[in-house]
């Protein structure tokens, strides 16, 4: 099977989809967080229906579902290919003007609507690897939205190819487009039963060849300090100041180790994200990260010791220590189903690529999905410089990812 002669639609789709403003909003309590995300979801739904997918739906929570029916009689696990429609709140996504730079020659790219915005090869060395490709950028005043409209366009181009090529044997394939990934709520209202898939792949990775099957495990820690208030003129021997206690605790946190500023690779960290308080009550919030889940408890014990040490300095102070699980390293789930990564690697190889297993120093919707019962590593899309005006994507990277999905679907059928 070769899709070499396929007239891809991924670039054309991408250029259209990025012009729809789908920015999500972390301060909103609605589902999805912004109604405008559904503007793109509605377009995707219609296009899936026009292509001939079945079981298509845009539900009230903003999820788009569709099915590419099986073309085999074998019992093949149901696969799900997933991407998110929203763009990051960090940078404007209003009025995106995508620019196609055909046959990129390796120079820095100056963006016309604000020439101070330059995508340099010094800051983006991956660009040098993409010389000869067609590169798409924004125009200088907005992000591009390749994260994750590259993934969306890849899945759409793939779906079109599969519908046009029923001779390729594959099992049932579910297509899923989610809202609100960028605000950490991409799968909260997902109906896993309706999805009905056994294994999944998110299309939301960066460089060609990367295959991400490992994320941090993550907890949040909330430390509450409760002091004793008194009139400051008559506070001697009575007042216990919670502000000072919280500050003392923060000052005990190491600065040369165990924090994001000085760790990388496979190292974990703790990181205070917020401090607020008044005389009587103060709260410090932290995040705790490690690739090894048991290490989180070790880190938390070390934090408890620092809280105890703080309390000793403030007689009368009460403290509370709350741990909240955030997400877990998806590798724990993927290791139970090694074929999910193996088949993906085979698909990369059939597409002429060397797969590189990568670890993400963060979480993905895939890590949450994996623990919701859908083992779900992350495939590259070519999206680079994400969440910024320097964002770019290679058309050929997107086409390569489309090809990988075709092979991957066939490989699952071959092994069934
Ligand atoms: Zn993304």
Give kind and range of the element (H or E) at residue 310.
helix 293-313
Model confidence over 250-293: pLDDT tens digits? 999 999 999 999 999 999 999 999 999 999 999 999 999 999 99
Centre of ligand 1 from the C-alpha of residue 246, in Å: 35
Model confidence over 258-267: pLDDT tens digits? 999 999 999 9
Give the global pTM.
0.90
Centre of ligand 1 from the C-alpha of residue 381, in Å: 10
**C-alpha separations of 92 from 26, 85, 152, 255, 361 in Å:** 14, 15, 19, 33, 25
Centre of ligand 1 from the C-alpha of residue 183, in Å: 10
What tokens appear for 77 in the block?
Answer: 């696990």
Q: Pairing state of beta strands 217-226 and 356-360? A: unpaired
Centre of ligand 1 from the C-alpha of residue 114, in Å: 25
Model confidence over 319-377: pLDDT tens digits? 999 999 999 999 999 999 999 999 999 999 999 999 999 999 988 889 999 999 999 99
Centre of ligand 1 from the C-alpha of residue 181, in Å: 7
Centre of ligand 1 from the C-alpha of residue 253, in Å: 31
Centre of ligand 1 from the C-alpha of residue 33, in Å: 16
Give the DSSP per-residue string, 212-273. Answer: EEEE-EEEEEEEEEE-B---GGG-TTT-B-HHHHHHHHHHHS-SSSSSGGG--TT--EEEEE
Model confidence over 96-111: pLDDT tens digits? 999 999 999 999 999 9
- Do residues 214 and 120 lie in contact, with contact meaning Cβ atoms separated by under 8 Å? no
Model confidence over 185-215: pLDDT tens digits? 999 999 999 999 999 999 999 999 999 999 9
Phi first, then psi: give them for residue 201, nearest 5 degrees: -140, 125
Which phi-psi region, left, alpha or beta, contains residue 45 (left: φ > 0; alpha: ψ -120 to 50)? Answer: alpha
Torsional sign, CA 349, 400, 168, 45: positive
Centre of ligand 1 from the C-alpha of residue 108, in Å: 25
How many residues in total does the chain contain? Answer: 416
For the CA atoms of 335, 82, 25, 269, the dihedral, rounded to the nearest 10 degrees, stands at: 20
Peptide bond into 15 cis (omega under 30): no
Centre of ligand 1 from the C-alpha of residue 147, in Å: 5
Q: Pairing state of beta strands 378-380 and 281-290? A: unpaired
- Do residues 86 and 95 lie in contact, with contact meaning Cβ atoms separated by under 8 Å? no
Own/partner pairs for 294-301, CB < 8 Å, 24+ apart? 295/217, 295/268, 296/217, 296/218, 296/219, 296/268, 299/258, 299/268, 299/270, 300/219, 300/221
Model confidence over 10-56: pLDDT tens digits? 999 999 999 999 999 999 999 999 999 999 999 999 999 999 999 99
Write out the catalytic residue numbers. Answer: 86, 181
Question: In this predicted structure, what is the pLDDT of residue 1?
Answer: 54
């Amino acid at each position: 099977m070769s899709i070499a002669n396929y007239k891809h639609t991924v670039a054309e789709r991408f250029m259209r989809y990025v012009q729809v403003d789908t920015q999500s909003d972390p301060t909103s309590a609605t589902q999805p967080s912004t109604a405008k995300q559904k503007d793109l979801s509605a377009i995707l739904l219609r296009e899936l229906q026009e292509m001939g997918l079945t079981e298509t739906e845009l539900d009230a929570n903003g999820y788009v579902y569709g099915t590419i029916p099986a073309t085999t009689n074998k019992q093949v696990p149901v696969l799900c290919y997933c991407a998110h429609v929203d763009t990051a709140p960090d940078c404007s996504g209003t009025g995106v003007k995508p620019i196609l730079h055909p046959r990129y020659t390796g120079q820095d790219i100056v963006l016309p609507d604000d020439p101070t915005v330059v995508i340099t090869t010094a800051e983006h060395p991956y660009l040098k690897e993409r010389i000869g490709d067609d590169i798409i950028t924004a125009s200088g005043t907005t992000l591009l939205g390749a994260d994750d409209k590259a993934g969306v366009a890849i899945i759409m181009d793939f779906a079109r190819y599969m519908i046009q090529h029923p001779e390729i044997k594959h099992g049932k394939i579910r297509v899923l487009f989610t809202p609100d990934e960028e605000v950490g709520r991409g799968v909260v209202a997902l109906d896993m039963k309706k999805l009905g898939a056994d294994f999944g792949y998110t299309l939301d990775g960066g460089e060609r060849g990367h295959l991400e099957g490992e994320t941090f495990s993550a907890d949040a820690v909330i430390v509450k300090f409760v002091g004793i208030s008194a009139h400051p003129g008559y506070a001697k021997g009575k007042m216990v100041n919670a502000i000072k206690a919280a500050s003392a605790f923060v000052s005990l946190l190491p600065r040369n180790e165990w924090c994001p500023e000085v760790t990388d690779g496979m190292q974990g960290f703790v990181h205070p994200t917020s401090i607020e308080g008044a005389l009587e009550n103060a709260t410090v919030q932290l995040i705790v990260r490690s690739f090894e889940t048991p290490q989180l408890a070790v880190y938390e014990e070390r934090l408890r010791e620092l809280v105890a040490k703080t309390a000793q300095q403030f007689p009368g102070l009460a403290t509370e220590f709350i741990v909240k699980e955030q997400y877990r390293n998806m590798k724990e789930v993927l290791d139970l189903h090694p074929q999910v990564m193996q088949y993906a690697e085979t698909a990369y190889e059939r597409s002429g690529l060397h797969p590189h297993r990568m670890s993400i120093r963060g979480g993905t919707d895939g890590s949450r999905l994996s623990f919701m019962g859908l083992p779900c590593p992350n495939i590259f899309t070519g999206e680079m410089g994400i969440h910024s005006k320097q964002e770019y994507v290679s058309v050929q990277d997107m086409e390569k990812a489309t090809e990988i999905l075709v092979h991957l679907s066939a490989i699952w059928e071959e092994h069934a």
